[in-house]
Structure 1
Amino acid sequence: MQLIKTQLSQKLDNLKLIIDEIKASQSYQVVSSIDDWQDYFDNQKIELIRERDRLRELIKNTDVK
């Protein structure tokens, strides 16, 4: 029984470390700071459209025919 408690305690400690690593990650920080998901994705969409248009223009201007 003591062995099982020790193993479970070690697994719990390991899970706590993993959770702390996740919480310290940049991705988690970004996600946890988002208050308005609709606004966040609307802004992401706008940025992606701008980048797409910029790349299309770059391709158009460098296209050799």
Structure 2
Amino acid sequence: MSDTDREQRIRIRAYHLWEAEGRPGDRAEAHWEEACRQDAAVDEESAGSFPASDSPSSTPVTGAGRA
């Protein structure tokens, strides 16, 4: 993911925080910082959440077919 994509995600998140607080005129920096923290937390959560590419086999290994 590019820095531009990340910045856009943060910008949108900060906008939503600003709206949720009633659109105050003096908290832009606080909203931006909180949006950065939230974005980093989401990145940390998703880093370990990807499943393995192959699921374990449900077929037992029996050794059949060996010479």
TM bracket (short chain)? 0.3 to 0.5
**Larger RCO, structure (CA 8 Å, separation 6 or more):** 2
Relative to total residues, which structure has the larger helix share, 1 or 2? 1
